[in-house]
Amino acid sequence: MAPMQLRIGKLFAVFVILLAAAGARTFYLGAFQAGKLRQVADGQQLTKVEMPALRGAILDRNGIPLAVSEAGEDVSATPYLVKAPVAAATRISAVLGLRESTVEKALTKAHTGFVYIERGVPEATAQRVAALHIPGIALSPVALRAYPAGPLAAQVLGNVDVDGNGLAGLEYSKNAVLRGSNGVRREVNDARGDPISVSDLKAARPGKPIELTLDSSLQNAVENVLAAVGAKYRPQSATAIAMDPQTGAILAMANWPRVSANEPAPASARINRAVGMTFEPGSTFKIVAIGGALQDGLVTPTTNFYLPSSLQIYDRTIHDAEVRPAEEATVAQILAKSSNIGAVEIGGKLGGARFNHWVSRLGFGRPTGVDLPGEQYGIVPQPAQYSGVSMANLPIGQGESVTPLQLTSAYAAIANGGILRAPHIVAAIDGKPTPTPAGRRVFDPRVASELRDMLRGVLAPGGTASQVTIPGYQLAGKTGTAQEVVAGSTTYSKTAYDASFVGFAPAGDPKVLVSVEVSAPRGAINGGEVAAPAFGQIMSFALPYLKIPPA
Amino acid sequence: MSPSSAAPAQTSPATTRKAAQTGAPARRSPGPRRISGPAHHAHRADPAHPADRADPARPAARPQRTARPAVRSAPSSAPFTQHVTRVFDHSLLDRLIRGRAWIGLIGFALIGIVAMQVTLLKLNAGIGRSVQRVTVLQRQSSALAAEVAGLSAAERVQSQATGLGMVYAPPNDVRYLHVSPGDAARAATAFVAPSASPPPSSTSASSSSTPAGSTSASGAPVSSASIGP
């Protein structure tokens, strides 16, 4: 064999050996180490990031945002990757405004590879944390909920938790619509961490916006009026509702004390008292007995009743609010002067069964059907539960509990000509208008008209709210004053009263209805003194604001 | 009649195929051959004819399957093969493969492939950066939208207006205009073409407008509330 051929042969043999070795190694890595190596490679190169969906905005009826979502980050740490936890804690706490010891405790947490330092950090602040370039500190995108108007309608809107789930209010009841769904993004990074490929495995689907019937300007005005009532009478709580009686659209729903939707608050302060609280309505409830008797043809507005100065029924003595001699009064005068004895006489004429029929007919004792969560049923005794004195106190609004919205809804039926309609607060979802709830007739138009006329007398001279006037406008309404039940007992408080007023304007063709309920005011207790002026202030703003001409 | 007793009377196609494979020379058909489809007999169906008689023991006559003649494709493939052979044997290709230009060509192609891969990677990275940029911009947009919402909050606007001395007019200070059927026509005729002269100042414009509170004989209220001092 020639030397040249020998060298070629040796070289060939070397190549064959090297090729065989490479093949064997390839087989080993591909067959036995594939899973492990793939896992390591994925860890180094692949990242799956959950892309948070922005929650749908809640807008008022003019498109002004009441709740919006904005970008934020969760700041987390992998403790064993943080080389100098003390120094890192100092730098991070300075940016996030946290206590240094809290951050240090998180960074030195043992037996864990993940710990949150702070959740829901605004984007700008999070970027300052990222700029620190501390190994082991990571940011995860999240959507934050913000309420630009602060405390405006906070109890109505509700709030969300750190994961973006609705906890209360509309945020809770409309969570499925508002929430959307998070996306998943797959990122392939090179050795320097720069993305080679970014693809959305699942696109984030933002939540749908909700448009309310609330008017933020009117809501603000109503809340300001309640704040003034709160400052003057220092009550336990107060709530007010403004409604379009023709459609049942809620234009404002305010609670006092105010809470900021952006700040933590006690659960009790977050209750929307307009639907989540019941109270004994007092004289505002007299329209049930009077309206029922009118509709049943038992009385007319001019029917005369003899009213003694006091009325004894079993062990109970009934008086009117003001001491007066025995007199005769028409049904209209009984309502205008809010005579307890007169209401009991009319209730007696109606009878327990028919009275209960009208209580139920006007929607008391069950939810109104408003699209808000946490609505109470109220407490309405059934005829079988009546005692001998039940018809001496039920017609004057004692012995039953209602929500402010139930009372408002019943008065709306009088204002709109006799149709009881479920109130509603959601006007549109994702731009699609929600249908106006169908109503049912509870009073003939004639009876509703007679009631409206009689309710004008409450604000006329001699009525219980005669001090409330708005020049150019005919007002109608009813005052209510009721003793509160002592918590945990069956007795009435001698000091705590509920003062209320429900009214509408213009009386001839009502366009806006306002109810005010003040719980346990101090310094004054009567609905005509505490709640009726608040009604007047709200109406003074609402009528020109809503462009309702005098009538 | 049982199937087993009928078997000897049949001529199995498998048997025929086997016979063809075991050495019987292929016999070329003298005439044009049928390609596919059911057999068409020249005669009409005749119950008296043995082939047309319904006999449950005898399967219906099947069309004879015959191998296609190999010569059918030969005229078209031969020139192609010759062309290919001619290309392989072409002197230009021969010179190219044997010469140094071939090395350069291969090198150029390899560099091109690598460059294409690098370009593709850069493109992917660019797309990735763009997607991330979109996300960042969307997040910035949401933050700005929240800021705008805060600035347009009713309470803030009202407090700012109050600070500037503005108040909501009391209900009795608001006047509503009423329209009559002829008002629209009068308004239409009152329109004049804009002149080249500068517009009047706001003071003169307001002084020339219809005074608030003027009403016509009938009609619905049309104007909105005015804001007073």
The string of pLDDT tens digits covering residues A174-189 is 999 999 999 998 888 7
Residues of A in contact with B135 (CB under 8 A): 51, 141
Q: Which residue of A has its CA nearest to B226?
A: A544
Note the pLDDT of residue B192: 83
ipTM of the complex: 0.72
Instruction: Tell whether B140 lies on the interface with A, counting CB pairs under 8 A.
Output: yes
Rounded mean pLDDT, A246-258 = 96
Contact check, Cβ <8 Å, A54/B142:
yes
Note the pLDDT of residue A413: 97
Q: Is the peptide bond before B211 cis (omega within 30 degrees of 0)?
A: no
Residues of A in contact with B162 (CB under 8 A): none
Do the Cβ atoms of A195 and A226 come closer than 8 Å? no
B180-195 per-position pLDDT tens digit = 888 888 888 888 887 7
Instruction: Tell whether A141 lies on the interface with B, counting CB pairs under 8 A.
Output: yes
Helices and strands counted in chain B (H then E): 8, 0
pLDDT at residue A489 is higher than 90: no
Q: Compare CB distances from B143 to A123, A216, A543 and report the shortest one's residue.
A: A123
Instruction: Tell whether A332 lies on the interface with B, counting CB pairs under 8 A.
Output: no
Instruction: Tell whether A470 lies on the interface with B, counting CB pairs under 8 A.
Output: yes
Interface test with B, best of A51, A59, A68 (most B CBs within 10 A): A68
Q: Which two tokens stand for residue A487?
A: 């918590």
Interface test with A, best of B123, B135, B147, B166 (most A CBs within 10 A): B135
Instruction: Tell whether B225 lies on the interface with A, counting CB pairs under 8 A.
Output: yes
Angle at A243 between CA A237 and CA A249, to 5 degrees: 120
Instruction: Tell whether A191 lies on the interface with B, counting CB pairs under 8 A.
Output: no
Predicted TM-score (pTM) of the model is 0.75
Note the pLDDT of residue B93: 75
Note the pLDDT of residue B150: 86
A131-163 per-position pLDDT tens digit = 999 999 999 888 899 998 889 999 999 999 988
Note the pLDDT of residue B129: 85
Note the pLDDT of residue A43: 79
Maximum pairwise Cα distance, chain A: 147
pLDDT at residue A77 is higher than 60: yes
Note the pLDDT of residue A1: 56
Rounded mean pLDDT, A88-108 = 93
Residues of B in contact with A198 (CB under 8 A): 127-128, 131-132
Q: Which two tokens stand for residue B27?
A: 């016999």
Note the pLDDT of residue A308: 94
Min distance A353 CA to chain B CA atoms (Å)? 45
Contact check, Cβ <8 Å, B152/A122:
no
Residues of A in contact with B146 (CB under 8 A): 65, 68-70, 146, 148
Per-residue pLDDT of chain B (229 residues), as tens digits, is 333 333 333 434 444 444 344 444 444 444 455 444 444 444 444 444 444 444 444 444 444 444 444 444 445 567 788 887 787 778 877 777 777 777 888 899 999 999 999 999 888 888 888 888 888 888 888 888 888 888 888 888 888 999 999 988 888 888 888 888 888 888 888 888 877 666 554 444 333 333 333 333 333 333 333 332 2
Comparing A10-14, A235-239, B207-211, which segment has the lowest mean pLDDT?
Answer: B207-211
**Whether A283 is catalytic:** yes
Min distance A471 CA to chain B CA atoms (Å)? 6
A369-389 per-position pLDDT tens digit = 999 999 999 999 999 999 988
Beta bridge partners of A402: A279
Rounded mean pLDDT, A247-275 = 90
The residue ranking higher by pLDDT, A203 or B48, is A203
Residues 6+ apart with CB under 8 A from B142: A54, A68, A69, A70, A71, A143
pLDDT at residue A312 is higher than 70: yes
Note the pLDDT of residue B211: 36
Rounded mean pLDDT, A8-18 = 91
Interface test with A, best of B123, B155, B166, B177 (most A CBs within 10 A): B155
Q: Which two tokens stand for residue A91?
A: 């730098």
Do the Cβ atoms of A79 and A115 come closer than 8 Å? yes
Note the pLDDT of residue B116: 96
Q: Which of A283, A390, A409, A540 is catalytic?
A: A283
Angle at A416 between CA A414 and CA A417, to 5 degrees: 70
Min distance B99 CA to chain A CA atoms (Å)? 24
The residue ranking higher by pLDDT, B155 or A69, is A69
Min distance A479 CA to chain B CA atoms (Å)? 23
% of chain A at pLDDT higher than 70? 100
Comparing A199-203, A306-310, A497-501, A526-530, which segment has the lowest mean pLDDT?
Answer: A199-203
A511-522 per-position pLDDT tens digit = 999 999 999 999
Min distance B111 CA to chain A CA atoms (Å)? 21
Q: Which two tokens stand for residue A193?
A: 């961490």
Q: Which residue of A has its CA nearest to B131?
A: A198
